[in-house]
Amino acid sequence: MFRAVFSFLIAFTILFTSSAYAHPGKTDANGGHTCRTNCEKWGLKTGEYHYHDKNGNIIRQKSKAAGVPAIRINSKHIVKVIRVVDGDTIDVRFSNGATSRVRFIGVNTPETVHPQKPVEKYGKEASNYTKKRLTNKTVTLEFDVGVKDKYGRFLAYVWVGKELYNETLVKDGYARVMTIQPNVKYQQRFLEAERKARQQKKGLWNV
């Protein structure tokens, strides 16, 4: 009798824990994933990226061994891309192990993960292109005058060797130019790349 009651209590505890904390969805290589359905039920926002500990508890931000290095105006930092969020946004790891999200300066790819917008035309193509080009790659982030946006993301130009990747997205028709003051260092390069992409009807200009 005691054994039966004990087994029932264990089963009830497991069931309760699962229903309280766990929710569907495969995790990525970093151990996290994005909530897409019934997010409020789990105390999350739609599109919010998060992790789970070994007990299934939701963790919004993975603990870091070190803080992000001091980012100064016009500075450069070599980082590793650990995740591509969409065509113009990536997660990176700095040399000291700290991680952060980075939004590309001066360009805007069609939305794929916005919590309040549907997937836009050519958004998946742009996202897949950036995943193919940058996932697990070592790149250089170049900062301008405005280091962060209103969402707390770092703003940077992304260099792959001598290639300015922000410009490549525009040149190949994966992104439009989006200039936000005071970050205008390569504005003219981006505008010229967009002009040529439109003339040649590349990518999103041919949709």
Which residues are catalytically annotated?
A: 103, 111, 153
Helix (H) or strand (E) holding 87: none
Three-state secondary structure call for residue 73: coil
Query: Within 10 A of 96 (CB to CB), how many other CB atoms are there?
Result: 11
Residue 109 amino acid letter: T
CA dist., res. 174 & res. 176, Å (int): 7
Dihedral through CA 103, CA 104, CA 110, CA 111, nearest 10? 0
Calculate the CA 46 to chain-centre distance: 14
CA dist., res. 8 & res. 34, Å (int): 33
CA dist., res. 117 & res. 110, Å (int): 10
CA dist., res. 200 & res. 161, Å (int): 26
Alpha-carbon torsion 68, 73, 76, 80, what sign? positive
Nearest C-alpha neighbor of 139 from the set 190, 102, 193, 179: 102
